[in-house]
């Protein structure tokens, strides 16, 4: 599982592992913490929201007498856990402390958030059965994928990053968090900037049902560190404050446009955009002058818009408002996963939606199994209405947002086609407009002969 996401959504890692271990006590967890090597160095993130920290916190918890009592009560109330039973799904599950095996792995792209050279990354292993069960397989897999000509500079930089984080990480990460909170406060309360730009808060990015604490914003009057700590301990999802999503659609800019302006004129680099936002990130290397520079830049951009609008004709104003509306309201909904084609499901009648993506993937290896249909063609609409179903031959990933909206073997729904048609991003991995959508050929539905 990916923790943290690009946009800063943090799982409650402790809770996820706890409830999964209740169902399968020797489950192996693989956490992709690519963006999150710094998390270990702050007590806010560590114990509940990082793989390695949560693993330690759970081990301590299960070793205590209090937990044994809690578990005994739970066991009495629920009996044997049966996950096909609704009660089990709505109950907070607890694992048997005598059965649990801790088998946790996580990957860190150290280079993304600590001081390593690019490509410097680490796999952290905290698996109590590693030596006995996994060492050989792990080493073989590692040797298969690594190079026999390692880059010593990268490896040395990993060592520097580790040592720096160990000696100074706490101070640096605290500063990284404080700068982000300060930036949020300044931008969202600034009389000029806040007319056009705004950083999104937990309330905007996490639905209320996953934010049981009710924490809405980090900077609301009266919110204390304790409120944040309590929310992070319990909430199903939390927002990493150092991931700063800035809404720019309200200033009439789409993400790519603003990214270009910031890079070309102000030498500020953005690495993720969406239709109406850009994402900033505070890091351990940031200083107050860096955040002051960003604020100054946003003030300049806001004043430019103010001046432009003050001189604008009625039709120019209407054009600005229409642009803002199109960027903020007419945004295509990201379609939910549809379903796999029956051909790629072991049990097409099953209520759950799993399928054999691998079979779909390899079916598309042979050109004769595939066809292309243009996205805006009448044929697509005809097939959606009358079949045969449109079945994706590959991954299609618009960037942004960077999630697959089709996977091999998946049936393409009307919602997916509408989303693709409304998209105005240039980069769509797995899709070439001049050829059309790549599909796995499906037989035409058999027409039954008319009875005479
Ligand atoms: C979630 C996630 N996992 C893994 C990676 C790959 O990381 P690396 O740069 O160390 O190869 C990325 C890169 O952006 C990522 O976003």
Q: How far is the CA of 227 from the centre of ligand 1 (A)?
A: 32
Per the model's pLDDT, the better-predicted residue between 230 and 333 turns out to be 230
- Interval 170-204: pLDDT, tens: 999 999 999 999 999 999 999 999 999 999 999 99
| Predicted TM-score of the model (pTM) | 0.87
Going by alpha carbons, the residue nearest to atom 6 of ligand 1 is 34
Whole-angstrom distance, CA of residue 298 vs CA of residue 304: 10
For residues 118-125, give the mean pLDDT: 96
**CB within 8 A of 365, min separation 6: which ones?**
none
Q: What is the distance in A from the centroid of ligand 1 to the CA of 87?
A: 37
Domain boundaries defined on the chain: 9-163, 169-328, 339-440
**CA 92, 44, 400, 371 torsion-angle sign:** negative
C-alpha 139/C-alpha 125 separation (Å) is 12
The fraction of the chain above a pLDDT of 70, given in percent, is: 98
Q: Please give the full DSSP string across 197-222, using - where no structure is assigned.
A: -EE--HHHHS-GGG-TT----SSSTT
Specify the residue with its C-alpha closest to ligand 1, atom 10.
Answer: 109
Q: Over 60: is that where the pLDDT of 165 sits? A: yes
- Report the 3 state secondary structure along 69-97: HHHHHHHHHHCCCCCCCHHHHHCCCCCCC
Cis status of the peptide bond prior to 400, with omega within 30 of 0: yes
Q: Which residues pair with 391 in a beta bridge?
A: 411
- Collapsing DSSP to helix, strand or coil, 437 comes out as strand
What's the gap in Å between 341 CA and the centre of ligand 1? 30
Is the CATH number 3.90.100.10 carried by domain 339-440? yes
CA of 21 to the centre of ligand 1 (A): 27
Q: Who has greater pLDDT, 445 or 11?
A: 11
Instruction: State pLDDT tens for residues 261-307.
Output: 999 999 999 878 888 999 999 999 999 999 999 999 999 999 999 99
Neighbouring-strand partners of residue 32: 2, 107
96 pLDDT higher than 90: yes
Position 183 scores a pLDDT of 97
Architecture of the domain spanning 169-328: Alpha-Beta Complex (3.90)
What's the mean pLDDT in 390-407?
A: 88
Which range (8-12, 231-235, 426-430) has the least confidence? 426-430
If you compute the radius of gyration of the chain from its CA atoms, what whole number of angstroms results? 26
The pLDDT value recorded for residue 450 is: 53
Q: Are strands 437-440 and 397-399 parallel, antiparallel or unpaired?
A: unpaired
Instruction: Provide the pLDDT for residue 347.
Output: 93
pLDDT at 274: 85
φ and ψ at residue 357, rounded to 5 degrees? -60, -35
Burial class (CB in 10 A: 0-12, 13-18, 19+), 61: middle
Would you call the peptide bond into 418 cis, given omega within 30 degrees of 0 as the criterion? no
Q: Name residues whose C-beta falls within 8 Å of residue 192's C-beta, 6 or more positions apart in sequence.
A: 299, 302, 303, 306
Ligand 1 centre to CA of 6 (Å) is 10
User: What is residue 452's predicted lDDT score, i.e. its pLDDT?
Assistant: 46
* Structural element, H or E, at residue 225: helix 225-234
Phi, psi dihedrals of residue 429, rounded to the nearest 5°: -65, 135
Virtual CA dihedral for 47, 51, 52, 56, nearest 10 degrees? 50
Contact residues of ligand 1, CB 6 A cut-off: 2, 32, 34, 109, 121
Cα dihedral 236, 242, 243, 249, rounded to 10, equals 120
DSSP 261-280: HHHHHH-----EE-SSEEEE
- Confidence at 446, pLDDT banded by 50, 70, 90: low
* Mean pLDDT of the 206-234 span: 94
pLDDT of residue 445: 67
Across 145-154, 328-337, 399-408, the highest mean pLDDT is recorded for 145-154
Which residue's alpha carbon is at the smallest distance from atom 2 of ligand 1?
34
Test site for ligand 1: of 11, 34, 36, 114, most ligand atoms within 8 A of the Cβ: 34
* Dihedral angle, C-alpha 270, 271, 273, 279, nearest 10 °: -70
Ligand 1 pocket test: which of 105, 112, 161 has the largest number of ligand atoms within 8 Å of its C-beta?
Answer: 112
Report the distance separating Cα 153 and Cα 257, nearest Å.
36
* CATH code reported for the domain at 9-163: 3.40.640.10
- Closest by alpha carbon to 67, among 28, 90, 100, 29? 100
- Alpha-helix runs per DSSP H in 8-133: 13-23, 43-49, 51-62, 65-78, 86-90, 110-113
User: Which residue owns the Cα nearest ligand 1 atom 12?
Assistant: 34
41's tokens: 């160095």
Query: 121 CA distance to ligand 1 centroid (A)?
Result: 9
User: Rounded CA gap, 363 and 385, in Å?
Assistant: 25
Ligand 1 center to 32 CA (angstroms): 8
Q: Residue 451 pLDDT > 80, yes or no? A: no
Contacts of 164 (CB under 8 A, 6+ apart): 114, 115
pLDDT digits (tens, 9 = 90+) for 347-383: 999 888 889 999 999 999 999 999 999 999 999 999 9
Q: Is the pLDDT reported for residue 127 higher than 50? A: yes
For ligand 1, atom 16, name the residue with the nearest CA: 34
**CA 387 – CA 383 distance, rounded (Å):** 4
For the cut 90, the answer to whether the pLDDT of residue 85 exceeds it is no
Q: Return phi, psi of residue 16, to 5°.
A: -60, -45
Q: For residues 66 and 72, give the distance between their C-alpha atoms in angstroms, rounded to a whole number.
A: 10
């Amino acid at each position: 599982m990916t923790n943290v996401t690009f946009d800063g959504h943090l799982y409650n890692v402790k809770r996820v592992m706890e409830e999964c271990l209740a169902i399968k006590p020797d489950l192996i967890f693989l956490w992709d913490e690519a963006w999150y090597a710094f998390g270990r160095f702050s007590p806010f993130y560590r114990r509940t929201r990082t793989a390695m920290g949560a693993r330690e916190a759970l081990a301590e918890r299960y070793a205590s007498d209090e937990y044994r009592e809690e578990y005994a009560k739970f066991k009495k109330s629920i009996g044997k856990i049966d996950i096909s039973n609704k009660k089990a799904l709505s109950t907070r599950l607890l694992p048997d402390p005598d059965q649990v095996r801790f088998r946790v792995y996580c990957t860190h792209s150290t280079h993304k958030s600590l001081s390593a050279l690019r490509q410097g990354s680490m796999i952290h292993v905290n698996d109590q059965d590693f030596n006995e069960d996994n060492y050989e397989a792990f080493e073989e897999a590692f040797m298969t994928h690594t190079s026999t000509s390692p880059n010593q500079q990268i490896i040395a930089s990993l060592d520097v990053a580790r040592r720096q984080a160990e000696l100074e990480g706490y101070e640096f990460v605290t500063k990284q968090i404080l700068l982000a909170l300060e930036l949020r406060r300044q931008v969202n309360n600034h009389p000029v900037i806040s007319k056009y730009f705004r950083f999104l808060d937990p309330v905007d990015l996490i639905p209320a049902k996953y934010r049981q604490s009710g924490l809405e914003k980090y900077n609301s009057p009266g919110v204390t560190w304790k409120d944040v700590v309590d929310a992070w301990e319990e909430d199903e999802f939390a927002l990493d404050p150092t991931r700063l999503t800035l809404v720019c659609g309200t200033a009439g800019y789409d993400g790519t446009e603003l990214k270009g302006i910031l890079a070309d004129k102000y030498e500020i680099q953005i690495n993720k955009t969406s239709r109406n936002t850009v994402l900033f990130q505070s890091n351990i290397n940031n200083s107050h002058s860096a955040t002051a520079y960003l604020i100054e830049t946003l003030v300049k951009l806001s004043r430019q818009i103010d001046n432009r609008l003050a001189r604008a004709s009625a039709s120019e104003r209407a054009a600005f408002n229409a642009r803002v509306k199109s960027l903020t309201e007419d945004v295509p909904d990201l379609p939910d996963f549809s379903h796999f084609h029956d051909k790629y499901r072991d049990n097409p009648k099953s209520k759950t939606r799993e399928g054999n993506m691998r079979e779909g993937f390899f079916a598309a290896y042979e050109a004769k199994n595939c066809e292309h249909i243009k996205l805006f063609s009448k044929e697509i609409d005809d097939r959606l209405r009358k079949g045969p179903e449109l079945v994706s031959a590959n991954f299609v990933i618009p960037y942004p947002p960077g999630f697959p909206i089709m996977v091999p073997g998946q049936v393409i729904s009307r919602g997916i086609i509408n989303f693709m048609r409304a998209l105005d991003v240039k980069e769509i991995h797995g899709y070439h407009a001049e050829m059309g959508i790549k599909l796995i050929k499906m037989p035409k539905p058999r027409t039954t002969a008319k009875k005479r």
